[in-house]
């Protein structure tokens, strides 16, 4: 860990061995994760970053409010840091909480270049705990990430070994009858989609890490009986949504994306790359397992809370794989009250005609337009003409707007799972104004081609999204794909609103589930050029990236 206002960071290659095979990682100061940086709100900090690689590099300060030229995105906010050069980041810290930093160049984040940031609030820590630990989750592949990407371009489900089988078909026949089972298979085949395609990569390509430690290595956090422990969970993975629980303990969520929330107690939470959650726990026995299973249920990261070194607790079995439902694929008719009933009850009984609705719709112009300053976002779906090309293989005409769905794999588990509807930022919104206008965009992709985009346009073919400096606006995102996307807008807070237009929670990274429509308010208070992208690394690299210009 490093504390103070002056920091020296050196980026270089370092040997690693997570799986029994020696590999080379991209590191900061020689470690994975990089050193945790401890700052204080109100301080001006200086960070000198020296590049000892043979290619350009960068560091992005994820979720940190700062001048755009300090944001660390090559081609957007600065040229990058050339080999042999030292770049000086300097800015005033304007917030407290748990954040992180990582490379925004090439595949360097995937090969080890990430670390945590802990910022002490200017008025002192409001969350009281006896122990305080960073728990940074990540994923590692022994393969060259460019080779992994090349495989995905050839066959997008090459790493998915949870394909529907004859056993699954026979089980459907037993539960639903032959006709229904055949209809279900025909429906998925006609849509050329896979109901188990929950993640691009699986344990067949990835090793899951906690603070750079494999499950076998068993990262351990010590406590004394009776203590309250704060765990600062950071998802620094390039590819993995994690479902986190500590069997036998309740998790009291007190902070989301670095911002205090009204405490909510749950058994489990899901978070994607870029998101952070701070939780309080009170250990009740000598050892508890920190269990973070991947969303596709092929593997897990694991650590231990222990009263003394060397103790372990049972590691739970992976949950069974759940299939995507038709409501996950095409939403539902009920825009106001939430998800269609078949999703709530985990049943697959949507008709083929409903499934076909994903691909229907009239092209309509959309984007910025006037809006009632206090009304919720319009429920009408506007598709851009660019969503009808080769870069788009799916469209949702009846998106669901609920925030109370824990997501596929976490429904009906018997555990209390955190949802976006549970989160309420303490103190309300940062800006009391209603929106002056709306900006509506669709998250789009083509699974067979493995392309990802906004409105069917990959970055490079798109134009910047323009915000007027000082304006308050509503952003609407429709997810027209079958995957959940953690969407990160640099430089400004995204204030999620409920379906009826009420302020919900302040975030820097918002997960948008398949066939879901979400809306959030933004105050365009940061002049400059900013990145806005999916934080699944390959999705960003393959085009789900836009530039936002505030002027």
What pLDDT, in 10s, does the model give residues 19-28?
999 999 999 9
pLDDT recorded at residue 341: 29
Please give the residue range of the domain that contains residue 46. Answer: 2-125
506 in the same domain as 399 = yes
Distance from C-alpha of 240 to C-alpha of 251, rounded to nearest angstrom? 21
**Is residue 24 within 8 Å of 13, Cβ to Cβ?**
yes
136 in the same domain as 102 = no
Least confident of 216-220, 361-365, 404-408, 464-468: 361-365
489 in the same domain as 345 = yes
What would you report as the CA-atom Rg of the chain, rounded to the nearest whole angstrom? 23
Give burial (CB, 10 Å; 0-12/13-18/19+) of 192: exposed
Count CB atoms within 10 A of the CB of residue 224.
11
Note the pLDDT tens digit of each residue in 449-503.
899 999 999 999 999 999 999 999 999 999 999 899 999 999 999 999 999 999 9
Residue 293, SS3? strand
pLDDT recorded at residue 193: 58
Instruction: Write the CA distances from 426 to 126, 129, 258, 259, integer angstroms.
Output: 12, 19, 12, 8
Distance from C-alpha of 355 to C-alpha of 481, rounded to nearest angstrom? 13
71 has a pLDDT exceeding 50: yes
Note the pLDDT tens digit of each residue in 533-543.
999 999 999 99
Residue (of 163, 158, 139, 138) closest to 147 by Cα position: 158
331 in the same domain as 313 = no
- Residue 235 in any domain: the answer is yes
Q: What is the mean pLDDT of residues 235-248?
A: 97
pLDDT recorded at residue 173: 53
Least confident of 28-37, 278-287, 317-326, 428-437: 317-326
pLDDT recorded at residue 184: 60
Using a CB cutoff of 8 Å and minimum separation of 24, what contacts does 151-155 make? 152/200, 152/450, 152/538, 153/449, 153/450
Least confident of 23-37, 343-357, 384-398, 440-454: 343-357
Angle between helices 178-191 and 166-176 (to 10 degrees): 130
Angle at 224 between CA 223 and CA 226, to 5 degrees: 115
pLDDT band for 386, please (50, 70, 90 cuts).
confident
163 has a pLDDT exceeding 70: no
Domain boundary among 256, 286, 321: 321
Q: What is the mean pLDDT of residues 110-122?
A: 97
Q: What is the mean pLDDT of residues 183-206?
A: 70
- Residue 185 in any domain: the answer is no
- Residue 262 in any domain: the answer is yes
387 in the same domain as 426 = yes
Residue 170, SS3? helix
Give burial (CB, 10 Å; 0-12/13-18/19+) of 222: middle
- Residue 175 in any domain: the answer is no
Distance from C-alpha of 99 to C-alpha of 508, rounded to nearest angstrom? 10
532 in the same domain as 427 = yes
pLDDT recorded at residue 325: 78
- Residue 181 in any domain: the answer is no
For the chain, percent helix, then strand, then coil, each to nearest 5?
Answer: 10, 35, 50
116 in the same domain as 218 = no
How many domains, the chain? 3
Note the pLDDT tens digit of each residue in 85-103.
999 999 999 999 999 999 9
- Residue 147 in any domain: the answer is yes
CATH of the domain at 132: 2.60.40.420
Least confident of 171-175, 297-301, 309-313, 443-447: 171-175
Count of residues for the chain? 551
**Is residue 234 within 8 Å of 318, Cβ to Cβ?**
no
Q: Percent of the chain having pLDDT more than 90?
A: 75
291 in the same domain as 315 = yes
Note the pLDDT tens digit of each residue in 246-263.
999 999 999 999 999 999
**Pairing mode, if any, of strands 509-512 and 300-306?**
unpaired
326 has a pLDDT exceeding 80: no
515 in the same domain as 379 = yes
Domain boundary among 286, 321, 356: 321
33: cis peptide before it, omega within 30°? yes
pLDDT band for 333, please (50, 70, 90 cuts).
very low
**Whole-model pTM?**
0.88
399 has a pLDDT exceeding 90: yes
Name the more confident of 280 and 342: 280
238 in the same domain as 212 = yes
pLDDT band for 370, please (50, 70, 90 cuts).
very low
148 has a pLDDT exceeding 90: yes
393 has a pLDDT exceeding 50: yes
Q: What phi-psi label fits residue 54: left (phi over 0), alpha (psi between -120 and 50 degrees) or beta? A: alpha
Beta strands in 170-241 (DSSP E): 207-210, 219-222, 229-235
Distance from C-alpha of 65 to C-alpha of 80, rounded to nearest angstrom? 19
350 has a pLDDT exceeding 80: no
To which residue do tokens 């940031």 refer?
117
Residue 109, SS3? coil
Domain boundary among 125, 145, 177: 125
Count CB atoms within 10 A of the CB of residue 88.
9
149 has a pLDDT exceeding 80: yes
Q: What is the mean pLDDT of residues 298-316?
A: 97
Q: What is the mean pLDDT of residues 279-286?
A: 97
Q: What is the mean pLDDT of the chain?
A: 88
To which residue do tokens 């069997």 refer?
247
**Is residue 97 within 8 Å of 125, Cβ to Cβ?**
no
- Residue 174 in any domain: the answer is no
Least confident of 198-207, 295-304, 473-482: 198-207
156 in the same domain as 50 = no
For residue 38, give every residue at least 6 positions away whose Cβ sits within 8 Å of its Cβ, in sequence order, or none.
1, 2, 3, 4, 117, 118, 119, 120
pLDDT band for 12, please (50, 70, 90 cuts).
very high
546 in the same domain as 416 = yes
Count CB atoms within 10 A of the CB of residue 416.
17
- Residue 183 in any domain: the answer is no
């Amino acid at each position: 860990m490093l504390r103070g206002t002056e920091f020296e960071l050196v980026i270089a290659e370092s040997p690693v061995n997570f799986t029994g095979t020696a590999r080379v990682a991209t590191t900061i100061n020689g470690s994975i994760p990089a050193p945790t940086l401890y700052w204080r709100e109100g301080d001006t900090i200086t960070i000198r970053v020296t590049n000892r690689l043979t290619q350009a590099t960068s560091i992005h300060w994820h979720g940190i409010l700062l001048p755009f030229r300090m944001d660390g995105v090559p081609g957007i906010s600065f040229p990058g840091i050339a080999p042999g050069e030292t770049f000086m980041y300097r800015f005033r810290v304007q917030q407290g909480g748990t954040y992180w930093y990582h490379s925004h160049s090439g595949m360097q984040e995937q090969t080890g270049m990430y670390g945590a940031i802990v910022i002490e609030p200017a008025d002192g820590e409001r969350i009281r705990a006896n122990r305080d630990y960073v728990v940074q989750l990540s994923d590692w592949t022994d393969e060259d990430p460019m080779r992994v990407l090349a495989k995905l371009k050839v066959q997008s489900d090459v790493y998915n070994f949870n394909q529907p089988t004859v056993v699954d078909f026979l089980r459907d026949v037993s539960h639903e009858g032959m006709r229904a089972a055949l209809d279900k298979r025909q429906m998925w085949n006609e849509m050329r989609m896979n109901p188990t395609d929950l993640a691009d990569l699986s344990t067949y390509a990835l090793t899951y890490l906690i603070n750079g430690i494999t499950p076998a290595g068993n990262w351990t956090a010590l406590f004394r009986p009776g203590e309250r422990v704060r765990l600062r969970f950071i998802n620094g993975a390039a590819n993995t949504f994690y479902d986190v629980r500590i069997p036998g303990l309740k998790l009291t969520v007190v902070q989301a994306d670095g911002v205090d929330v009204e405490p909510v107690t749950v058994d489990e939470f899901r978070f994607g790359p870029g998101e952070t959650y701070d939780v309080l726990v009170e250990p009740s026995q000598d050892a508890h397992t920190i269990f973070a299973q991947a969303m596709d249920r092929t593997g897990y990261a694991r650590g231990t809370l222990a009263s003394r070194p060397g103790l372990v607790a049972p590691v739970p079995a992976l949950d069974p794989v759940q299939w995507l439902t038709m409501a996950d694929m095409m939403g539902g008719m009920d825009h106001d009250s939430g998800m269609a009933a078949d999703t709530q009850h985990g049943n697959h009984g949507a008709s083929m005609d409903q499934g076909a609705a994903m691909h229907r719709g009239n092209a309509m112009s959309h984007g910025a337009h006037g809006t009632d300053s206090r009304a919720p976002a319009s429920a009408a779906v506007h598709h851009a003409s660019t969503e009808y090309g080769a870069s788009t293989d799916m469209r949702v005409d009846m998106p669901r707007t609920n925030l109370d769905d824990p997501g596929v794999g976490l429904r009906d588990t018997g555990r209390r799972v955190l949802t976006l509807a549970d989160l309420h930022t303490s103190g309300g919104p940062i800006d009391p104004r209603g929106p002056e206008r709306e900006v509506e965009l669709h998250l789009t992709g083509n699974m067979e081609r493995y392309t990802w985009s906004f409105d069917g346009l990959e970055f490079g073919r798109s134009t910047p999204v323009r915000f007027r400096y000082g304006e308050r606006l509503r952003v609407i995102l429709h997810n027209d794909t079958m995957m959940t996307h953690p969407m990160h807008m640099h430089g400004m807070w995204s204030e999620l609103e409920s379906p009826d237009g009420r302020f919900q929670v302040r975030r820097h990274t918002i997960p948008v589930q398949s066939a879901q429509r979400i809306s959030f308010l933004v105050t365009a208070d940061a002049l400059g050029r900013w990145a806005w992208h999916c934080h699944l690394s390959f999705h960003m690299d393959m085009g789900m990236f836009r530039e936002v210009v505030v002027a």
